[in-house]
């Protein structure tokens, strides 16, 4: 029975993929080609295929697979694994902001039509945009609460960056294997000291997302190196003092946090409280 179910799932996914290709090639392009010059028809077909049809197909495929396990990575809007979690800091929102400001990092602008257009122009023309917005990734059932970045040179295509999601220290005692923990959308009080769960990566240039072929930043695959770089930046700035590495299943010995699970090692540190010199 299990083999039959797996076969039917794969058959359904194949049908979804085939239907998507048919829609893009014989419906969207055919419609656009009859009304627009060929280069505009190709551009319109790409936009509809990459940003509408293929993301929908991916979501349908994930539903067919019944992927309801606890995610070990952040999740993209299409339901695919995103950046791995590799850093966790403990502090208030103001302490988090001060820590990265002291280290010479910039807080990312909120993603909206204005900032997105500014980012597209900067990306295409290769002009500096030190507070460029981030695309939205999901953890704990919601998009990131805040993000920081440090440009590499003057190009907006290359940067160090990290997204953070806040989780209350008391909530972090919940069973990590319970999906409700990860799907919890409640935001804690940012004035209190909370657990800031972060996913840090290094953008290296231009790229396309797999499956949907959306335009995005290409990223360095060595997220461990990026984790170590960010931690060193904060240590050198005196924003954090001690950094501990935890493997999956280890218990965090900080305040009321019991344990935190990730696919790889996570650097964990407590931010130096405001008003206290390192």
Beta-carbon-side half-sphere exposure of residue 48 (alpha carbons within 13 Å): 18
In this structure, what is the dihedral angle of CA atoms 138, 108, 146, 247, given to the nearest 10 degrees?
70
Helix axes 2-22, 54-65, angle to 10 degrees: 170
Contact 93, 80 (CB under 8 A): no
Q: What is the DSSP letter of 72?
A: S
Range among 60-74, 145-159, 198-212 with highest mean pLDDT value: 145-159
Higher-pLDDT residue of 181, 166: 166
Average pLDDT over residues 164-181: 66
Least confident range from 19-28, 53-62, 157-166, 253-262: namely: 253-262
pTM of structure: 0.68
Work out the angle at residue 226's Cα, subtended by the Cα atoms of residues 222 and 228, and round it to the nearest 5 degrees: 115
Query: Is 90 exceeded by the pLDDT of residue 163?
Result: yes
Structure tokens at 116: 């997105």
Task: For residues 199 and 148, give the distance between their C-alpha atoms in angstroms, rounded to a whole number.
Answer: 11
Q: Output the pLDDT for position 252.
A: 44
Determine the average pLDDT of the residues in 140-169.
Answer: 88
- Give the span between the Cα atoms of 97 and 61, in whole angstroms: 39
Q: Are strands 87-91 and 266-270 parallel, antiparallel or unpaired?
A: parallel
Domain boundaries, the chain: 2-65, 73-270
Decide which of 61 and 196 is more confident. Answer: 196
Counting Cβ atoms within 10 Å, is residue 104 exposed (0-12), middle (13-18) or buried (19+)?
A: exposed
The encoded tokens of residue 79 equal 């339901």
pLDDT at residue 50 above 50? yes
Highest mean pLDDT among 62-71, 91-100, 104-113: 91-100
Q: What's the mean pLDDT in 253-267?
A: 46
Task: Identify which has the larger pLDDT, 239 or 70.
Answer: 239
Query: Nearest to residue 148, comparing CAs of 233, 23, 43?
Result: 233
Q: How far apart are the first and last CA of the chain?
A: 62
d(CA 245, CA 179): 24
Percent with pLDDT over 70 in the chain = 71
C-alpha 29/C-alpha 39 separation (Å) is: 11
Q: Are 139 and 197 in contact (CB under 8 A)?
A: yes
Most confident of 170-179, 180-189, 196-205: 196-205
Choice among 46-50, 209-213, 251-255 with the minimum mean pLDDT: 251-255
């Amino acid at each position: 029975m299990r083999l039959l179910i797996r076969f039917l799932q794969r058959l359904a996914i194949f049908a979804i993929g085939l239907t998507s290709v048919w829609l893009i090639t014989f419906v969207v392009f055919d419609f656009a080609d009859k009304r627009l010059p060929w280069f505009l028809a190709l551009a319109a077909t790409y936009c509809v295929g990459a940003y509408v049809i293929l993301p929908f197909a991916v979501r349908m495929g994930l539903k067919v697979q019944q992927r309801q396990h606890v995610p070990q990575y952040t999740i993209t809007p299409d339901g695919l694994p995103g950046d791995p979690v590799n850093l966790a800091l403990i502090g208030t929102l103001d302490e988090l902001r001060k820590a990265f400001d002291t280290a010479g990092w910039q807080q990312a602008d909120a993603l909206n039509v204005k900032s997105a257009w500014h980012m597209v122009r900067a990306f295409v023309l290769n002009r500096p945009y030190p507070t460029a917005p981030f695309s939205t990734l999901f953890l704990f059932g919601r998009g990131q609460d805040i993000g920081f970045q440090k440009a590499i040179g003057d190009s907006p295509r290359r940067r160090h960056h990290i997204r953070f999601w806040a989780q209350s220290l008391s909530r972090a005692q919940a069973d990590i294997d319970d999906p409700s923990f990860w799907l919890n959308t409640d935001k804690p009080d940012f004035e209190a000291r909370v657990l800031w769960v972060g996913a840090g990566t290094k953008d290296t240039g231009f790229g396309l997302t797999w499956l949907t072929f959306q335009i995005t930043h290409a990223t360095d695959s060595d997220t461990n190196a990026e984790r170590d770089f960010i931690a060193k930046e904060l240590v050198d700035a005196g924003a954090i003092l001690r950094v501990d590495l935890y493997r999956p299943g280890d218990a965090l010995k900080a305040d009321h946090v019991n344990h935190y699970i990730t696919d790889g090692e996570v650097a964990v540190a407590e931010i130096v409280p405001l008003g206290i010199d390192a």
